[in-house]
Homo-oligomer: A and B are copies of this chain.
Amino acid sequence: MGSPRVNALGQLLADLPAADEAAATAVRERAAQVLRPAGALARFDELAAWVAGWQGTDRPRIERPAALIFAADHGVAAAASVSAYPVNVTAAMLDAFTGGRSTVSAFARQAGATVRAIDVGVGRPTGDIRVEPALRPDRFDEVVGVARAAVADLDGDLLVLGEMGIGNTTAAAAVAAALAGGEVADWVGRGTGVDDAGLARKRAAVEAAVGRIAGLTDPIDVLREVGGAELVAIAAALVAARHRRLPVVLDGYVVTAAALPVGVAEPAALDHCVAGHCSAEPGHRRLLERLGKPPLLDLGLRLGEGSGAMAAVPLIAMACAGVTEVPTFGEWFGEA
């Protein structure tokens, strides 16, 4: 199965920059002095300090939030009927993102964000993870390269990561079960809404995939074996964003499962990521607990496509404004 880390994503995990702690501390100190009781916005003030640390400034701002939505198809979807939707919905949704007609597009207009959808394998499905690797090493590296280029091209000050891929909650469950352990059934939910028979097929598919790679320990290799192209792209994009010190908002179960191998490989590698929301997919809450990422929103959304993360963007922008645009008591009494 190849030597771990000798791949494009493993290389990217070297020399990750740290947050600017001086900027974060300056924001924390200012937050304790602005015109409100100290601690009254606790979680928001921590968010502002977090943005400050990654943006490297004591005046953190969210002015150009940008979403990257990675889309791909999954061999297991057609082969094992694990989704309530036909495989060609992935391609239709890719068009909807591009045309600005999807739910995340509508949310992004409200949040003042841009959305770019990137095809990393639509109509070019991964291997059926029950019986073969999702991605061969060369294809894996190709997807990592596409994601790196997308992040390099990005004009933004906050990155929202989203996904689209019929069958991808099956891949997410396989990654989560392989790396976080426990009962496979605990990681398998109804995704877009499979019935009981579909849920049983999903469980069986995940059990087969996890069983196939028993003994494999390198988390990045697990991602390549039982993930999918959009999961790989997300993992690569969030590490690439780290090199730009760009704060990242994680979306639902699939995006978080894609982040998991990175967090297992290097726990601090996800410090620039915040959980936008907790989805209705049962494994998501467990995964967020595993990663120590309390969600900003907890509204039972289960759409994917970056929508839950996008919904959290205005909160992060407000958190920053709540420190930078409010005078301290000292400034205010000087002004007044």
Contact = CB atoms under 8 A, between A and B. Distances in A.
Interface stretch (A52-60, A216-224, A319-327): A319-327
Contacts of A267: none
A110 B40 contact: no
A192 B37 contact: yes
A50 interface: no
Contacts of A40: 192-193, 301-303
Interface in A314-334: 314-315, 317-318, 321-322, 324-327, 332-333
Contacts of A43: 299-301
Given A43-B301, A111-B318, A36 B103 contact: yes
A318 B311 contact: yes
Interface string A293-316: 000111111110101001100110
Contact of A103 (B305, B315, B322, B335): B322
A102 interface: yes
Given A110-B317, A111-B314, 15 more contacts: A35-B101, A37-B193, A37-B303, A40-B303, A43-B300, A43-B301, A92-B336, A96-B332, A102-B326, A103-B326, A107-B321, A109-B325, A298-B298, A310-B318, A314-B315
15 contacts: A35-B102, A35-B103, A37-B84, A40-B192, A40-B303, A41-B103, A41-B301, A44-B311, A103-B326, A106-B325, A107-B322, A110-B317, A110-B321, A111-B318, A310-B318
